[in-house]
């Protein structure tokens, strides 16, 4: 792969304190030697950025010799990282707990879905479950703004003609309060096989107790500043 040697002015950062400065020395971080010595004349202007010195032996400084000792392993530097099985062991996932009292339904569901899906992690992969488990307690105290408490409708259909059932937010909260949060989060998770298994990582409970103390859940970090109902 042709390396853009003229623009590789930024060094691969090994010391966090150094600010990378655009230097005039054209050093490739991986080869460790200056490409300015390549003497092939630029015949075509578009071909300037090619490595012209494959025939010369690479001069590796002594402190970087360890990097080039064993090049037989997999190429982790040029291939995008994909998680292996040991990177997403289900038993070592993080568990979060969040109290739903007086939180706005949609904003809370959005934060929960982001954590369940793993989109807050730099190791996010769409095809792999890298997310955390989330426990929601006090589900019956969830809040909605405006007149949604009496006007928001929840519909379901049994499949048969005339089998549509419509309930308001209030009625559903009296009947099965957990379903409100589950419905909201399920709508925000991806639909598909993986989405369905992600949904099983959400645990919703009415009341302040939950049976998952053994998992030592942490407090869910919420960044949304408007998530608490303004009274």
The contact set with another protein (CB under 8 A) reads 7-10, 13-14, 16-17, 19-20, 22, 77, 80-81, 119-126, 221, 223, 225, 230
* Tokens 């090994």 sit on residue: 14
Residue count (the chain): 231
As measured in angstroms, the least distance from the Cβ of 215 to another protein is: 22
Q: State the first-to-last Cα distance of the chain, in angstroms, to the nearest integer.
A: 60
Select 17 or 91, whichever has its Cβ closest to another protein: 17
As measured in angstroms, the least distance from the Cβ of 5 to another protein is: 12
SS3 category, 166: strand
Select 87 or 170, whichever has its Cβ closest to another protein: 87
Q: Rg of the chain's alpha carbons, rounded to an integer?
A: 27
**Contacting residues for 78 by C-beta, under 8 A, at least 6 apart:** 1
SS3 letters across 201-228: CEEECCCCCCCCHHHCCEECCCCCCCCE
List b or e across 115-133, with b for residues whose CB sees 16 or more CB atoms inside 10 angstroms.
bbbbeeeeeeeeebbbbbb
Select 24 or 165, whichever has its Cβ closest to another protein: 24
How far out from the chain centre does Cα 1 lie? 29
Select 53 or 128, whichever has its Cβ closest to another protein: 128
Select 46 or 225, whichever has its Cβ closest to another protein: 225
Phi first, then psi: give them for residue 37, nearest 5 degrees. -80, -5
As measured in angstroms, the least distance from the Cβ of 115 to another protein is: 11
Whether the Cβ atoms of residue 116 and residue 181 lie closer than 8 Å to each other = no
- Residues 121, 126, 127, 133, CA torsion sign: positive
Select 62 or 122, whichever has its Cβ closest to another protein: 122
């Amino acid at each position: 792969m042709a390396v853009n040697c003229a623009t590789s002015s930024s060094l691969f950062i090994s010391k966090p304190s150094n600010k990378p400065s655009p230097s005039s020395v054209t050093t490739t971080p991986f080869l460790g030697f200056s490409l300015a010595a390549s003497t092939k004349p630029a015949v075509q202007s578009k071909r300037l950025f090619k490595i012209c010195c494959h025939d010369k032996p690479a001069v590796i400084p002594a402190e970087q010799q360890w990097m080039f000792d064993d090049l037989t392993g997999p190429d982790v530097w040029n291939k995008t990282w994909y998680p292996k099985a040991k990177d997403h062991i289900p038993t070592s996932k993080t568990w979060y707990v969040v109290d739903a009292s007086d939180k706005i339904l949609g904003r809370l569901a959005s934060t929960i879905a982001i954590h369940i899906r793993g989109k807050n992690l730099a190791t996010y992969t769409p095809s792999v479950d890298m997310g955390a488990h989330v426990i929601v307690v006090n589900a019956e105290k969830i809040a909605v703004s405006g007149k949604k408490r009496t006007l928001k409708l929840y519909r379901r259909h049994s499949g048969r003609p005339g089998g549509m059932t419509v309930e308001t937010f209030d009625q559903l909260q009296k009947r099965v309060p957990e379903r409100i949060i589950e419905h909201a989060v399920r709508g925000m998770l991806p639909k598909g096989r993986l989405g369905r298994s992600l949904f099983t990582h959400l645990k919703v409970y009415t009341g302040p107790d939950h049976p998952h103390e053994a998992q030592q859940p942490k407090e869910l970090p919420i960044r949304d500043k408007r998530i608490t109902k303004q009274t």
